[in-house]
Structure 1
């Protein structure tokens, strides 16, 4: 168990299908069949996250797996997703490994001391520990920092990806039939715009504070003039 590679998405620990299969003493195919046979029990964003397209490329790159170009989609399982698989498989080995995962792999989130609420910290300060004014300022700064850097939830992360895919499809329809390369130009344009308006270098670095900005940008996104000219030129080349 100590050799299990840490896999994280937006600061939350997850497991790949391969990791669950290895831990539960079975195969990827069994895990996939178990998922398909119990599909109604698994809820996206709660039990698993499905990565495709640019999200998948960025994730593989962040995990130093950028060379695995043949991967077209990747399921990442949360702690609750791992529990559902253990329940569905029902083997002693699966349950034993799930207990180990909870006690070690996923326990890291429990070991991080939960910050006190602002009211609780103010109350503690008011009891006489240190300078009330100085401690109050420090508490407010810490709370602001926590709010500023809160990660996107899995559901928000997935929604942004879906909305970007939808918006690209909407714009692409205006060009009639386009090639995969042309569609790639549109994705490159919108993803670059997301990075510009949020100030992040990769989409996996997005935080909760960016959610409304990204959604608003995506809803109003139009390709840049340079991208439009590239698409038209590629259409001319295709017709020739």
Structure 2
């Protein structure tokens, strides 16, 4: 075990899938299958950490593995994760190697650390791997923000325009024969409503996050009282 390369993440010793496979006398594929077949037993942050994207690149660089550009994701296993694999595999070799890992590889780390208080242990469990977990949440939030603020696709933009035209036509039929000016009042009313519910100044500023709101508003739109009064007055003037 003295030759086992030390792998650490945020000051905590972990093992790669390759290290577990080599130690337990099996292959990466067997470890991966073991994980997939027992997926509900493995808890992210407790038994393993999955690194992808920039976090993976930074980790590979810190371990002098930056040239392995083909790696797209990497599972790192904690002491408890190594235990689950030993239990699942159930071989004497896996159990013997797990005992060695606990007595040497992981125990060395424990001896270097100051014992945590009960409150600190609870906080550590609650936060998982601290900054890594927080950073992953931040990345997820940024991705969600980018998706929500992406411009409408051409299909979505055209659908909104078509649905607004249809809704205006539906409402206009309730007034019988109306003039182009009266129809313009209806379009002005519905477009103003779209701006109010989305907070944009022009329809071209609509984003993906606005699509459902605009469609729902359009389907339920009715002219304001002021617009209705204008339409009636214009009809009286037209008849006179």
- TM-score if structure 2 supplies the norm length? 0.49
Contact kept? 1:10, 1:205, Cα under 8 Å = no
Q: Which moved more, 1:185-194 or 1:116-125?
A: 185-194
In structure 2, list runs of 5 or more residues that go unmatched: none
- What secondary structure, in the 3-state scheme, does the structure 2 residue paired with 1:50 have? strand
Structure 1 residues 10 and 201, CA gap change in structure 2 (3 angstroms): farther
Provide the C-alpha distance between the structure 2 equivalents of 1:7 and 1:233, rounded to a whole number of angstroms.
Answer: 80
- What secondary structure, in the 3-state scheme, does the structure 1 residue paired with 2:66 have? coil
Contact kept? 1:194, 1:217, Cα under 8 Å = yes
Following TM superposition, by how much is the alpha carbon of 1:184 offset from its aligned partner in structure 2, in angstroms? 45
Matches within 5 A, 1:82-161: 82-112=82-112, 114=114
Provide the C-alpha distance between the structure 1 equivalents of 2:181 and 2:103, rounded to a whole number of angstroms.
Answer: 47
Contact kept? 1:167, 1:219, Cα under 8 Å = yes
- What secondary structure, in the 3-state scheme, does the structure 2 residue paired with 1:107 have? helix
Provide the C-alpha distance between the structure 2 equivalents of 1:45 and 1:155, rounded to a whole number of angstroms.
Answer: 41
Structure 1 residues 138 and 219, CA gap change in structure 2 (3 angstroms): same
Contact kept? 1:10, 1:151, Cα under 8 Å = no
Provide the C-alpha distance between the structure 2 equivalents of 1:183 and 1:14, rounded to a whole number of angstroms.
Answer: 69
Provide the C-alpha distance between the structure 2 equivalents of 1:13 and 1:181, rounded to a whole number of angstroms.
Answer: 74
Structure 1 residues 163 and 130, CA gap change in structure 2 (3 angstroms): same
Contact kept? 2:46, 2:128, Cα under 8 Å = no
Provide the C-alpha distance between the structure 2 equivalents of 1:120 and 1:38, rounded to a whole number of angstroms.
Answer: 30
Structure 1 residues 166 and 131, CA gap change in structure 2 (3 angstroms): same
Provide the C-alpha distance between the structure 1 equivalents of 2:48 and 2:105, rounded to a whole number of angstroms.
Answer: 16
Provide the C-alpha distance between the structure 2 equivalents of 1:39 and 1:197, rounded to a whole number of angstroms.
Answer: 44
- What secondary structure, in the 3-state scheme, does the structure 2 residue paired with 1:5 have? coil
With a CA cutoff of 8 Å and minimum separation of 6, indicate the structure with the bigger relative contact order. 1
Provide the C-alpha distance between the structure 1 equivalents of 2:164 and 2:62, rounded to a whole number of angstroms.
Answer: 21
Provide the C-alpha distance between the structure 1 equivalents of 2:64 and 2:237, rounded to a whole number of angstroms.
Answer: 36
Q: Which residue of 2 aligns with 1:221?
A: 221
- What secondary structure, in the 3-state scheme, does the structure 2 residue paired with 1:174 have? helix
Q: Which moved more, 1:229-238 or 1:119-128?
A: 229-238
Name the Cα RMSD after superposition: 19.2
For this pair of structures, how many residues does the alignment match?
Answer: 240
Contact kept? 1:198, 1:214, Cα under 8 Å = yes
Following TM superposition, by how much is the alpha carbon of 1:115 offset from its aligned partner in structure 2, in angstroms? 5.6
Following TM superposition, by how much is the alpha carbon of 1:112 offset from its aligned partner in structure 2, in angstroms? 2.5
Contact kept? 2:10, 2:129, Cα under 8 Å = no
Provide the C-alpha distance between the structure 2 equivalents of 1:56 and 1:28, rounded to a whole number of angstroms.
Answer: 19
Structure 1 residues 132 and 35, CA gap change in structure 2 (3 angstroms): closer
- TM-score if structure 1 supplies the norm length? 0.49
Which structure: larger Rg? 2
Provide the C-alpha distance between the structure 2 equivalents of 1:91 and 1:205, rounded to a whole number of angstroms.
Answer: 62
Following TM superposition, by how much is the alpha carbon of 1:111 offset from its aligned partner in structure 2, in angstroms? 1.2
Following TM superposition, by how much is the alpha carbon of 1:109 offset from its aligned partner in structure 2, in angstroms? 2.7
